[in-house]
Amino acid sequence: MSAGWSLERLFADFHEKIARELASARMLGHPTAQGDASEKTWNEVFNHYLPKRYEARPGFVVDSLGNFSQQIDVIIHDRQYSPFVFSFKRIDVVPAESVYAVFEAKQELTAEYVSYAKIKAASVRKLHRTSLAAQTIDGMSRPKPLHHIIAGILTLSSVWKPALGDTLNGHLRAEVANGILDIGCVADAGWFNRINATEYELHSVTMPATRFLFELIAQLQAIGTAPMLDVRAYASSI
**Residue 22 phi, psi dihedral angles, 5° rounding:** -65, -40
CA-nearest of 179, 188, 123, 127 to 154 is 188
Of these residues, 73, 97, 182, 215, which one is catalytic?
Answer: 73
Q: How many residues does the chain have?
A: 238
Of these residues, 39, 106, 120, 215, which one is catalytic?
Answer: 106
Of these residues, 21, 39, 104, 182, which one is catalytic?
Answer: 104
Q: Is-catalytic flag, 104?
A: yes
Contacts of 125 (CB under 8 A, 6+ apart): 149, 151, 178, 179
Whether 61 and 129 have beta carbons less than 8 Å apart is answered as: no
Whether 234 and 62 have beta carbons less than 8 Å apart is answered as: no
Q: Is-catalytic flag, 106?
A: yes
Q: Is-catalytic flag, 73?
A: yes
Distance CA(20)–CA(38), nearest Å, equals 11
Distance CA(153)–CA(171), nearest Å, equals 12
Whether 43 and 66 have beta carbons less than 8 Å apart is answered as: no
Distance CA(231)–CA(223), nearest Å, equals 22
Which residues are designated catalytic?
A: 73, 104, 106
